[in-house]
């Protein structure tokens, strides 16, 4: 009973600290997340810590909806290039998704309802029932797709198959946004357009 009280007190303290921190610094953090140049400048000042920070940010965005995953992909590509962007972002999101899947499989509906609204939960479960594997491959490329990782844990899909589908489903979005951020791709596109215009 005493241990339970200690856990409750600790949880309350963490919540109060989080609310206080968001009240004091939430605006600055939100502004930073919305400003690519600020993120890039911060990363370039410490590339190693920046790489770790981007991985953690991309991992957390599976659980915290307001973290802009696509912006983090573009920023990663601008600073570290296309290849590293794909490796880092697909790794972070797949690992986070697999953890969400595992936790949902272990703790069931009560856990999932903390992250997924009832209306979205019912709609996604119905689509999974109708479309099966195809739905996983398509849905990860649309907004609100991260909740699929939680919902999948409630279905009969195996962890191994979910891992494969999560990787394949997320890969197109990661590749597209990584291409958008890579300056070398932009340069190649500019050269191609110049070449094409030269022969017009």
- Which residue in the block uniquely carries the two structure tokens 């790794």? 91
Shared domain for 30 and 69, answered yes or no, is no
How many structural domains comprise the chain? 2
Shared domain for 48 and 20, answered yes or no, is no
CA of 95: how far to CAs of 55, 56, 62, 146, 173, in Å?
10, 11, 10, 12, 16
**Burial 26-55, CB ≥16 within 10 A → b, else e:** eeeeeeebeebeebbeebeeeeeebbeebb
Shared domain for 113 and 166, answered yes or no, is yes
State the number of CA atoms in the 13 A half-sphere of 51 facing the CB: 10
Shared domain for 51 and 133, answered yes or no, is yes
Shared domain for 14 and 62, answered yes or no, is no
Q: Name the nearest CA neighbour of 162 among 112, 114, 100, 88.
A: 100
Residuewise pLDDT in 10s, the chain (200 residues): 444 455 555 555 545 544 544 444 444 444 444 556 767 777 777 778 888 888 998 999 898 877 888 888 988 988 888 999 999 999 999 999 999 999 999 999 999 988 888 888 888 898 888 888 889 888 888 777 889 999 999 999 999 999 999 999 999 999 999 988 887 665 655 555 555 554 44
What token pair was written down for 71?
């912006």
- Can you tell me the distance from the alpha carbon of 95 to that of 8, in angstroms, rounded to the nearest whole number? 29
Cβ atoms of 173 and 138 closer than 8 Å: no
Shared domain for 25 and 54, answered yes or no, is no
Burial of 110 from C-beta contacts in 10 A (0-12 / 13-18 / 19+) = exposed
pLDDT value for 189: 53
Shared domain for 100 and 194, answered yes or no, is yes
Tell me phi and psi for residue 46, to 5 degrees.
Answer: -155, 85
3-state SS class at 74: helix
Shared domain for 15 and 66, answered yes or no, is no
Shared domain for 110 and 136, answered yes or no, is yes
pTM: 0.72
Q: Domain containing 70: what range?
A: 39-198
Tell me phi and psi for residue 127, to 5 degrees.
Answer: -70, -35
Shared domain for 10 and 100, answered yes or no, is no
pLDDT value for 132: 86
């Amino acid at each position: 009973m005493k241990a339970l009280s200690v856990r409750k007190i600790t949880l309350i303290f963490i919540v109060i600290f989080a609310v206080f921190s968001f009240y004091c610094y939430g605006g600055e953090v939100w502004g930073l997340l919305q400003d690519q140049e600020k993120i890039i400048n911060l990363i370039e000042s410490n590339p190693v810590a920046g790489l770790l920070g981007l991985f953690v940010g991309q991992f957390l965005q599976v659980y915290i909806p307001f973290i802009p995953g696509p912006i983090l992909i573009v920023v990663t590509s601008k600073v570290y290039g296309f290849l590293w962007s794909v490796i880092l972002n697909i790794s972070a999101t797949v690992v986070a998704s697999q953890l969400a899947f595992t936790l949902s499989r272990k703790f069931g509906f009560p856990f999932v309802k903390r992250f997924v609204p009832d209306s979205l939960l019912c709609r996604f479960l119905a689509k999974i029932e109708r479309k099966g594997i195809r739905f996983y491959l398509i849905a990860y490329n649309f907004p609100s797709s991260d909740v699929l990782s939680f919902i999948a844990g409630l279905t009969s899909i195996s962890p191994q198959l979910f891992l494969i589908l999560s990787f394949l489903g997320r890969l197109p979005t990661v590749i597209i946004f990584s291409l958008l951020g890579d300056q070398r791709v932009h340069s190649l596109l500019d050269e191609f357009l110049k070449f094409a215009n030269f022969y017009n």
